[in-house]
Every structure is written in structure tokens, then in C-alpha cells.
């Protein structure tokens, strides 16, 4: 190997210079790569040009936790920065996402309300508003129909109850005065099932002197129970009223001698209340149906309080339609045959042995 005087230092200098040129070149290459990466990935060109507020508004469109939040942020961004650094990107996102979101929400009032709350100035605002009004109107109409149906059913239920009360009231008065404990003592001392509805429930009874057949000091105390109801008359609702006069013939000591339950066309009103239809004055079948119902109620009450034995039946001649008598109790039903007469049920019961 040949050594030249001073040659080592020259070679070293040349090598150092070459090294510096290589480092400079590498630095230039790295700088270009870093810039390319910056422009293409970690930070786009708009990010470099955007203001702090612009970028903060844009960032909300990317990091909101819900779809509604991102859509609302996108709409807000475009309102605030229509020419912003990210306007094109946000506008494209909204154009893709909003139709999908609206399609999912347009079927219900709640969904449409959510859409309008999220995008009050959205592309489908007019359609959403129109559809929401229609849904609300339809629901309101449905609510009105449902409420009307409920009210109608409630009214029909009240009418059924009012009609049922006619039969129940007559049957109840029959049972009260067919009980032996209501007899043989002053009426004021009768059991509560008798004295409360007769004397203590409105209307109060009124008393007047009786005719001579009951002896001196006898009175008739009576009260009239009015029972309104509704029937169908040729397709229309027609008001009716059954009237039951409860008349108690009392001796001078106030003890019941006879009880009459009577009223104008009482048996016809019974049939109308049962069938819910009008019984015209010339409707013989309807009248017969009402008489049969009065007989049925009377038999049932007599059997419950006195006896149901067939031997209690007595021969009945018109206008009497039923005569039951046994074990000291007597019940006679009479159907009015002339104008001005009233249908009636008359009760007498022998008092219990004391």
C-alpha cells in the first residue's frame, strides 16, 4: 500500500463532503414525504387553511355520538360556514345521510318530530311538516271517534241500566211487602228493608184519610216512584217513564192493612223496558207481553217470600190476571181494561203470631 504525504487528510475531507451532500439530499427527500403525508392524511389542505372556529364546527360533524347529533352539527356547520374549508365534504355527507335518516323517520309522528327537531331547515322539511299535520289530524280524528264510541257505549249502558231498573224496582217492592215482618206492627217499626225505601227515601210519602172500609182513623200513605227510560220508536229514541205508586192502607195504629203497587200502563212500561222498543196503544202482543212479565215478577216474589207451591194459584177472572193466595198471604194482579184505570198489584199478608 502506498502512502502519499498529506493524502489521508484529503481523502477524509472528500468523504466528509460527500456525507454532508448525502444528508442534505436525505433531508430534502424526508421533507417531501412529510409534506405529502400531511397533505394526504394526517392533516388535509383544508385543515391547514381553516380557522379554529371553522375546524371546531366541522369536528362536531365527525365526533358527535349519535346520528342526530352528527346531522344537526352538519346542518349547523353549513349555516355558519357555507363557504367554509370543509363545506364540500359536509355538504356531500349531508346529501348522503339525510335521505336515509328521513326515510327511517317519516312513518310516525314521533319520527317526523325528531327529524324536524334535528334538521329544522332540512331538505325534507316541507314534506315532514305536511305529513306530521296529517298524522296529527288523523290521530285527533281517531281520538274523537274513540271518545265518541266510548261516550255512546256509556250512554247505551246507562239506558240499559235505566230500563232494568223498572223491573228491578217493581220486584223489590213486591218482595218488601210480601215479607211477613212488614205486617202486624206500625209501619214505622217495619224492618229497614221496608221503612228506609218507603219513608226515608225521596220522595217522601203523603198520607190522607182512607175511605170507611178500613175503619175510623185509617189513612192511606203513598209515594210515587218515577222511573224514566228510553226506547226505540221507529228508529228514533223516545223517552218513557214508568210510574209506580206505592200506597199503604194503614189502620188507626199505623199498621198496614193492604198495599197496592199501581201505575198508568205499568205493565206496558214493563214490556217496553224489557224489549227497549215502543209498545203502541193498539199493540196487543206488546200489551200481553207486559202482562206476562208482571205475572212472572209476581210469581217470583211470592215464591221467594211466601211459597211457590202450585196450590197457591187461584182462579183469576178478567181484569184479574193473577191470584196467588196461601199461608196467610194474598197477591192479586189486575190489568187495566178501561182508559183512566191503572194496572195494579195488591198485597195483603196476615201478621206473624206474636
Q: What confidence tens digit (pLDDT) does each residue in 151-186 have?
A: 888 888 999 999 999 999 999 999 999 999 999 999
**Domain count across the chain:** 2
Asked, for residue 75, whether it belongs to a domain, the answer is no
Sheet holding 206-209, edge to edge: 206-209, 219-233, 236-250, 256-263, 343-349, 329-334, 320-326
Confidence (pLDDT) at 26: 40
**Residue 351 banded pLDDT, cuts 50, 70, 90:** confident
Residue among 147, 72, 67, 132 nearest 100 (CA): 67
Does pLDDT of 33 surpass 50?
no
- Domain match, 38 and 170 both: no
Does any domain span residue 246?
yes
Residue predicted with more confidence, 198 or 216 = 198
Beta bridge partners of 233: 236
User: Residue 35: its pLDDT value, please?
Assistant: 30
Q: Three-class SS of residue 259?
A: strand
Q: Are residues 38 and 166 in the same domain?
A: no
- Decide: residue 161, CB within 10 A, 0-12 exposed, 13-18 middle, 19+ buried: exposed
Give a yes or no: residue 184 inside a domain: yes
pLDDT the model gives residue 306? 96
As given in the structure block, the three cell numbers for residue 268 are 206496558
pTM: 0.62
**Inside any domain, residue 15:** yes
171 in the same domain as 317:
yes
Residue showing cell 257505549: 153
Over the stretch 319-350, which tens digit does the pLDDT of each residue have?
999 999 999 999 999 999 887 899 999 999 99
What is the residue-averaged pLDDT of the chain?
Answer: 85
pLDDT band at 51 (very low <50, low <70, confident <90, very high): confident
Give kind and range of the element (H or E) at residue 180.
none
Q: What percent of the chain has pLDDT over 70?
A: 85
Crossing angle of helices 109-118 and 67-80, rounded to 10°: 40
- Listed range (3-7, 169-173, 247-251) with the worst mean pLDDT: 3-7
pLDDT of residue 29: 36
Give the pLDDT confidence score for residue 299 in this predicted structure: 97
Cα 254 to the center of its chain, rounded Å: 51
Ranking 26-40, 108-122, 236-250 by mean pLDDT, the lowest is: 26-40
For residue 201, give Cα distances in angstroms to 110, 169, 248. Answer: 55, 13, 16
Q: What percent of the chain has pLDDT over 90?
A: 61
Pair type for strands 320-326 and 219-233: unpaired
Q: DSSP label at 40?
A: I
* Within a domain: 80: no
- The answer to the question of residue 62 being in a domain is no
Q: Residue 45 — pLDDT band, cuts 50, 70, 90?
A: low
Residue 49 lies in a domain: no
CB neighbour list of residue 45: distance below 8 Å, 6 or more residues apart: 39
Residue 275: pLDDT above 50?
A: yes
Judgement on whether residues 24 and 167 belong to the same structural domain of the protein:
no
- pLDDT for 288 equals 96
Give residue 140's pLDDT.
73
221 within some domain: yes
pLDDT category of residue 220 using cuts at 50, 70 and 90: very high
Q: Could you tell me if 207 and 341 lie in one domain?
A: yes
Domain of 19 in residue numbering reads as 1-42
Amino acid at each position: 500500500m502506498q502512502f502519499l504525504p498529506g493524502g489521508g487528510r484529503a481523502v477524509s475531507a472528500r468523504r466528509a463532503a460527500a456525507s454532508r451532500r448525502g444528508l442534505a439530499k436525505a433531508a430534502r427527500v424526508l421533507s417531501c414525504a412529510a409534506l405529502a403525508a400531511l397533505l394526504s392524511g394526517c392533516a388535509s389542505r383544508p385543515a391547514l387553511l381553516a380557522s379554529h372556529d371553522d375546524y371546531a364546527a366541522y369536528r362536531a360533524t365527525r365526533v358527535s355520538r349519535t346520528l342526530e347529533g352528527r346531522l344537526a352539527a352538519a346542518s349547523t356547520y353549513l349555516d355558519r360556514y357555507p363557504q367554509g374549508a370543509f363545506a364540500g365534504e359536509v355538504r356531500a355527507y349531508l346529501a348522503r345521510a339525510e335521505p336515509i335518516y328521513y326515510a327511517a323517520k317519516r312513518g310516525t309522528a314521533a319520527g317526523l318530530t325528531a327529524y324536524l327537531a334535528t334538521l329544522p331547515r332540512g331538505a325534507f322539511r316541507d314534506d315532514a311538516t305536511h305529513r306530521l299535520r296529517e298524522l296529527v289530524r288523523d290521530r285527533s280524528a281517531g281520538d274523537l271517534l274513540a271518545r265518541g264510541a266510548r261516550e255512546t257505549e256509556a250512554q247505551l249502558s246507562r239506558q240499559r241500566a235505566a230500563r232494568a231498573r223498572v223491573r228491578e224496582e217493581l220486584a223489590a217492592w213486591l218482595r218488601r211487602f210480601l215479607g211477613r215482618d212488614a205486617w202486624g206492627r206500625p209501619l214505622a217499626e217495619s224492618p229497614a228493608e221496608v221503612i228506609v225505601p218507603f219513608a226515608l227515601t225521596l220522595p217522601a210519602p203523603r198520607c190522607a184519610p182512607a175511605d170507611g172500609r178500613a175503619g175510623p182513623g185509617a189513612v192511606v200513605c203513598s209515594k210515587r216512584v218515577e222511573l224514566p227510560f228510553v226506547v226505540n220508536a221507529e228508529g228514533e229514541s223516545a223517552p218513557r217513564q214508568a210510574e209506580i205508586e206505592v200506597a199503604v192502607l194503614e189502620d188507626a195504629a199505623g199498621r198496614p192493612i193492604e198495599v197496592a203497587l199501581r201505575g198508568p200502563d205499568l205493565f206496558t212500561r214493563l214490556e217496553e223496558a224489557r224489549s227497549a222498543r215502543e209498545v203502541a196503544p193498539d199493540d196487543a202482543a206488546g200489551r200481553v207481553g207486559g202482562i206476562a212479565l208482571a205475572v212472572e215478577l209476581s210469581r217470583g216474589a211470592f215464591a221467594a217470600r211466601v211459597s211457590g207451591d202450585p196450590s197457591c194459584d187461584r182462579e183469576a177472572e178478567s181484569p184479574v190476571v193473577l191470584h196467588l193466595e196461601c199461608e196467610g198471604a194474598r197477591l192479586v194482579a189486575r190489568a187495566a181494561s178501561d182508559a183512566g184505570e191503572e194496572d195494579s198489584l195488591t198485597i195483603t199478608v196476615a201478621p206473624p203470631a206474636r
